[in-house]
Structure 1
Amino acid sequence: MERLELPLSQLHAFVVLAEELHFGHAAARLGIAQPPLSQQIRRLEDKVGHALFSRASGGVTLTPAGHELLPAARSALTGLADGLAAARAVGSGQAGRLRIGFAASLALTVLPGLLRTFRQRFPGVHLDIREMPTAPQIAALHDRSIDVGLLREPPATEEELCFRTVLSEPFVAVLPAAHPLAGRRTVHLAELADSPFVLLPRAAGPGLHDQITGLCTAAGFTPRTTQRAVEWQTVCALVETGLGVSLAPAGIRRIRLKGVAFRRIEPSTARTRVAVAWRENEQNPLVTHLLAAVSPEPVDRPQRSSRSGR
C-alpha cells in the first residue's frame, strides 16, 4: 500500500473546512486568504487521488472520500496536540519520571517530607523510588539508572557528581534493654569496648562504616563485630536478641522495638551527614525541581577521582 506523506497544515485546513463547509468562513478561522486555502485542499485531494469536497454555488459538502478521511485527520491532529503538550510538560519538568535512590534509614527522617513536598508541587511526575545503600547509589548515578540519590556520608572525592547536605544527625548507642548501660541516659563510648557489635557491612556504605569504627578507635578500642546486617531494622532486631550493641544515626530511634534502648553517647560531637547527590551538568529539569524542594545549602562540588552509609 502506498504510504502518503500528508502535511499537517493540509490536514488542519481540511478539518476546518469540513467543519465550516464554507471556504470564506474556513479561511477566516485559519487566518489565511481564500486562494491559499483552496490550494491546500487541492494539493491534499491530489495526494488522496479523489475529491474530498463537492463544490457548488450553494456551498460545500463532503464527498464519501472526505467523510472517510475526516475521523483519521482529526485523530492525527489531536494526537499531535497531545504529544506537543506532553513534550512541553516533560521539558518544563511538570511531567515525566524521576528515579530516586535512598538509603533505608532515610525513610525514617528526610524522605517522607521531601517526597510529600515534591508531589504537592509536581503531581504529574511519576516517582520511581528505589531503596539502596550509599555505595550502590553512587554506582547507579554513574551508570544513569537513577537520577538522584539520598545517601549517608557521601565520599569526599567522586568524579562527575555533586552533593548537597540536607541533614546532620548525631549518633546514638543501640543497646539491648537488658544491657547494664541501658539504664543510663548517656553512654561513654569507651564503656562499650567489651561488648560485641552488630554493624552494617562496609561495602554497603564505606563512609558511615568508617565513621562508626573511627569513633570507637578514638575512644580507645576496635569494635569486635560479631554480626552484620544490611538494614538498620535488622541491626536493631539482632541487638534486641542480645547478640550485640551498635552505633547508629539518631533517626534510627524511630524503629520501635520493646527490647532495644537508644542512648546518647559521649563524646557527643560526632555527626553523620545526609546528602542529596546528582550528576554534574544534569539536564533533567525534574532533578532541578527536586533540589529546590530540599534545604537550600551550598553545593559540594566534587573533587576529581575515586569511587565510594546507609
Structure 2
Amino acid sequence: MDRPELPLAQLHAFVVLAEELHFGHAAARLGIAQPPLSQQIRRLEEKVGHALFHRAPGRVALTAAGRELLPAAQRALAGLADGLAAARAAGSGRAGRLRIGFAASLALTFLPGLLRAFRQEYPDVRLDILEMTTAPQLTALRDQVIDVGLLREPPAGETELGYETVLTEPFVAVLPAEHPLAAHRTVEIGQLAGMPFVLLPRAAGPGLHDQIVGLCAAAGFTPPVAQRAVEWQTVCALVGAGLGVSVAPASIRRVRLQGVAFRRIEPGDVRTRVAMAWRRNDTNPLVANWLATVRQPRRV
C-alpha cells in the first residue's frame, strides 16, 4: 500500500495548531483566516484516516493519532528548514567543498595567509588542499579534479582556463653554504656557468623551467643538469648535499636547511609570476568567492 503524501502546508498548519491548541491563534500565526486553516486540517485528517484533534467549544486537544503525528511532522519541517538553509548556503558559496591545487613553495609565503582569510569569511566551506606542480594542476583543472589552482608561470594561449597573476618575485641562486659565491651578497647569473645544476624536471612546470634556462642562456651558457627533483625543498636539500647549484624563486629562501645559502641574482629585473587558475565556464559560487578572496590585497 502506497503511503499518502502529506503536503507541507498541511503539516505546517497541523504543527502550529498543535502548539497553539486554538484555531484563532493558530490562524493568526499562520497569517490566514480560520476557515482555510480548518480546511487544511480536515484534508490532513482525511489523508491520515483519523481525527487529529478533539474539537469542543472553547477547547482543542490532540487525539492519540495527533500526538503520534506531531513529532514526525516537527522533524519533517525542521529537516526541510535545514535543507533550505544548506541549499541557500551552497548557492551563495558559503558552504560546500572547494578543491585547491597549489605549488609547494607557496606554502612558505602566500598560501597560509590566503587560507586564513578564506576560512574567516567562509568557515563552513570544506577545503581540500592538494600539493601539485604546475603541469599536474593544469591537467587536474581540465579534468575537474580540482576547482582552482595556484601555480607558477601558466602557459600562454589558454582558452579553457582563466589565469590571473597574484604576485611576482625575483630569482635567487641556491648554493652549498661552503661555495665560494656564498661569500657574496649577490651573484651574477653568469658566475654559475659550468657548474652542475639541480632543477625541477621540465614536465613539472614548463614555464618556470624555461624561464630559468632562459636566464642562463641570456648569460651565455646552458646549465648542465646533474640532478632533478620535483619539489623545491628537495632541490635545496640536494644542493646542500653538494650535488650542484640551482636558480629558484626567492620565496625558497624560507626553506631552512643546514648547508644551503641563498643569494640574490643580478640582474634582478627578471621575475617569476604566481597565478591563480580556474575553469572559465565554472559557475560554482565557491570558485567566485575564492577568486574574490585571492584578489584582496595582503602582505606576503
TM-score by length of 1: 0.93
d(CA) in 2 for partners of 1:62, 1:8: 19
Question: Residue 6 of structure 2 aligns with which residue?
Answer: 6
Matches within 5 A, 1:201-212: 201-212=201-212
Whichever residue aligns with residue 105 of structure 1, its letter is: S
Whichever residue aligns with residue 159 of structure 2, its letter is: E
Question: Residue 306 of structure 1 aligns with which residue?
Answer: none
| Deviation at residue 232 of structure 1 after TM alignment | 0.8
Question: Residue 50 of structure 1 aligns with which residue?
Answer: 50
Partner SS for 1:119: helix
d(CA) in 1 for partners of 2:179, 2:231: 22
Question: Residue 101 of structure 2 aligns with which residue?
Answer: 101
Partner SS for 1:94: coil
Partner SS for 1:294: helix
d(CA) in 1 for partners of 2:122, 2:145: 22
Question: Residue 147 of structure 1 aligns with which residue?
Answer: 147
Whichever residue aligns with residue 160 of structure 2, its letter is: E
| Deviation at residue 245 of structure 1 after TM alignment | 0.5
Q: Per-residue CA shift, 1:138-172, capped at 9, x if unaligned?
A: 11111112111000001112222111111111000
d(CA) in 2 for partners of 1:183, 1:295: 39
Matches within 5 A, 1:135-284: 135-284=135-284
Q: Per-residue CA shift, 1:71-124, capped at 9, x if unaligned?
A: 000000000011111111111122222111100001011111111111122222
Question: Residue 118 of structure 2 aligns with which residue?
Answer: 118
Whichever residue aligns with residue 197 of structure 1, its letter is: F
Q: Per-residue CA shift, 1:25-61, capped at 9, x if unaligned?
A: 1111111111111111111111111111111224111
Question: Residue 301 of structure 1 aligns with which residue?
Answer: none
| Deviation at residue 282 of structure 1 after TM alignment | 2.6
| Deviation at residue 296 of structure 1 after TM alignment | 5.8
Whichever residue aligns with residue 16 of structure 1, its letter is: V
d(CA) in 2 for partners of 1:289, 1:169: 25
Partner SS for 1:123: coil
| Deviation at residue 264 of structure 1 after TM alignment | 1.2
TM-score by length of 2: 0.96
Q: Per-residue CA shift, 1:233-272, capped at 9, x if unaligned?
A: 1110000010000000000000011200101112221110
Whichever residue aligns with residue 14 of structure 1, its letter is: F
d(CA) in 1 for partners of 2:78, 2:172: 59
Whichever residue aligns with residue 187 of structure 2, its letter is: V
d(CA) in 2 for partners of 1:114, 1:258: 29
Query: Structure 1: any 5+ residue segments left out of the alignment?
Result: 298-310
For the structure 1 residues 88 and 184, does the alpha-carbon distance in structure 2 shift closer, same or farther, using more than 3 Å as the test? Answer: same
Partner SS for 1:227: strand
d(CA) in 2 for partners of 1:30, 1:241: 76
d(CA) in 1 for partners of 2:144, 2:257: 37
d(CA) in 2 for partners of 1:40, 1:30: 12
Deviates more, 1:170-179 or 1:277-286: 277-286
Deviates more, 1:263-272 or 1:230-239: 263-272
Calculate the aligned-residue CA RMSD, in Å.
Answer: 1.3
Deviates more, 1:234-243 or 1:191-200: 191-200
Partner SS for 1:127: strand
Whichever residue aligns with residue 257 of structure 1, its letter is: L
d(CA) in 2 for partners of 1:86, 1:10: 23
Deviates more, 1:53-62 or 1:257-266: 53-62
Runs (4+) of structure 1 moved beyond 6 Å?
A: none
d(CA) in 1 for partners of 2:189, 2:148: 35
Deviates more, 1:207-216 or 1:122-131: 122-131
Partner SS for 1:130: strand
Question: Residue 59 of structure 1 aligns with which residue?
Answer: 59
d(CA) in 1 for partners of 2:168, 2:210: 17
d(CA) in 1 for partners of 2:36, 2:111: 59
d(CA) in 1 for partners of 2:31, 2:187: 80
Q: Does 1:290 align with 2:290?
A: yes
